[in-house]
Amino acid sequence: MKPRITVIGSSNTDMVIQLDRIPHPGETLLGGEFVMAPGGKGANQAVAAARAGGNICFVAKVGKDLFGEQTLHNLKRDKIDVRHISRDPAAPSGVALIFVARNGENSIAVASGANAQLSPEDILRARSIIKASSLLVMQLETPQKTVEAAASLALRFGVRVILNPAPAVRLSRALLKQVSILTPNETEAQLLTGIRADSQVTAAKAAQKLHAQGVETVVLTLGSKGAYVSAPGCRSLVPGFKVKAVDTTAAGDVFNGALAVALSEDRPLLESVRFASAAAAISVTRMGAQPSAPRRKEIDQFLRQV
């Protein structure tokens, strides 16, 4: 039996319009192409991990609506354990409205809905699943008090925590001390450290600040430049892969899901980051959040060819 990975986080339905460029404030652009697809950072990471070969349980909250029904159907199709996805009778399922430019850049607005109702009590109901997991993966599209409750529970059970601090918000030192691996991008690292981490040198400085706040391992993603890894006995830039980007919407989520899978298989940290980078590189060549997440066979094949 493969080690279980528990993902706690958000689930949204993404409504995506692809345009030549992102509209300016007050501007209307015609001629876009529309697609609706499952998304939400938590669900994206759960799906990415499942497709990369992980044994995944997802803890989340959706509404009692058609979007919620479709979410459960989609997750089950990827063989994700959905026993701890609760249905909120009052709040609607989360929705994200996304503009994607032809060069792959995006602009996103989110109505959290039921995601904002995921509570520490929901986490306690899932404690047996968390206790039996090798890794706990989280993001920040659900209430921070819920994230903190889950991190505390994982620490008590000796379960490693991967926290993707997105969207960018300030985090308490108490939470950071409970995180095994923090995976910020450049924007998130700057908010947490005050350092613009846009190169290997500045990424190293930002990582040191995060270590000083209690984080054991930092994997700072630098877009096409790769990922800077800072851990006890390891300081290294893992180069990115050159691909033609179509949509970068869920690249970070795919990276985190694949990283969790590689680590759950006891791969070395740098090898795990390279595996995650390959999965993310494949994802940006495709439209959509969850639809872009590659399967294990594709990731292995990509790595054999580079």
User: Among 240, 267, 49, which residue's Cα sits nearest to residue 138?
Assistant: 49
Q: Which of 14, 78, 253, 266 is catalytic?
A: 253
Q: Within the chain, where are the H helices?
A: 41-51, 66-77, 120-125, 127-131, 144-157, 173-176, 186-193, 200-212, 251-264, 269-283, 296-305
User: Among 25, 12, 44, which residue's Cα sits nearest to residue 110?
Assistant: 12
User: Among 171, 127, 119, which residue's Cα sits nearest to residue 145?
Assistant: 119
Distance CA 132, CA 4 (A): 7
220-255 burial: b if 16+ Cβ within 10 Å, else e: bbbbebbbbbbbeeeeebbebbebebbbbbbbbbbb
Residue tagged 């609506």 (tokens):
65
198 is catalytic: no
The catalytic residues are: 253
